[in-house]
Amino acid sequence: MPELPEVETIRWELGKKILNKRIFRVEIFPDSRGIRFLGSYSPADFQQKLTGRTIKDVRRRGKYLLFSFDSESILAIHLGMTGKLLYRPADTPADKFVRMKFVLSNGYEIRFADPRKFGKMFIISPTDDKLMESLGPEPLSPSFTVDYLQKVLSRHRKKIKEVLLDQKIIAGIGNIYSDEILFRAKIHPERSACSLLQEEIFLLFSAMQEILRAAIVARGTTAGDRQYLNTTGKPGKFQYRLQVYQRRGQECLRCGRVIVSKKFGGRSGYFCPQCQV
DNA sequence: ATTGGGACCTGCTCGC
DNA sequence: TGCGAGCAGGTCCCAA
Taking the C-alpha atoms of residue A75 and residue A132, their distance in angstroms, rounded to an integer, is 12
If we measure between CA atoms, which residue out of A4, A1, A2, A12 comes closest to residue A140? A4
Q: What is the pLDDT of residue A39?
A: 54
> Where do the DSSP E strands lie in A64-205?
64-69, 74-78, 84-89, 98-104, 108-113, 120-124
0.75 exceeded by the pTM?
yes
Is there a contact between A112 and A100 (Cβ–Cβ < 8 Å)? yes
CA distance A240 to A163: 26
Contacts of A38 (CB under 8 A, 6+ apart): A120, A122, A131
pLDDT of residue A37: 55
Q: Please tell me the predicted confidence (pLDDT) of residue A34.
A: 46
Q: Give per-residue pLDDT as tens, A147-195.
A: 999 999 998 988 999 999 999 999 999 999 999 999 999 999 999 999 9
Q: In this model, does residue A141 exceed pLDDT 90? A: yes
In angstroms, the Cα distances linking A220 to A123, A145, A157, A217, A226 are: 26, 24, 31, 8, 12
On strand C, nucleotides with any atom < 7 Å from a protein CB are 7-12
Q: How far apart are CA A140 and CA A12, in angstroms?
A: 15
Torsion of CA A217, A220, A222, A223, to 10 degrees: 100
Please name which of A44, A37, A28 lies closest in space to residue A100, comparing C-alpha atoms: A28
Nearest of A73, A76, A50, A75 to residue A63 by alpha carbon: A76
CB atoms under 10 Å from CB of A35, counted, come to 24
d(C-alpha A7, C-alpha A4), whole Å: 5
pLDDT of residue A257: 93
pLDDT for residue A42 is more than 80? no
Tell me, in Å, how far CA of A256 is from C1' of C10?
Answer: 32
- CA of A118: nearest nucleotide by C1' is B9
**Counts of helices then strands in chain A (DSSP H, E):** 7, 11
Q: A254 CA, C13 C1': separation in Å?
A: 40
Could you tell me the pLDDT band of residue A46, with boundaries at 50, 70 and 90?
confident
Closest nucleotide (CA of A36 to C1')?
B8
Q: In chain B, which nucleotides are within 7 Å of a protein Cβ?
A: 2-13
Query: Is the C-alpha dihedral spanning A76, A84, A212, A268 positive or negative?
Result: positive
Å: A257 CA to B16 C1': 33
Average pLDDT over residues A246-272: 89
Burial zone of A41 (CB within 10 Å; 0-12 exposed, 13-18 middle, 19+ buried): middle
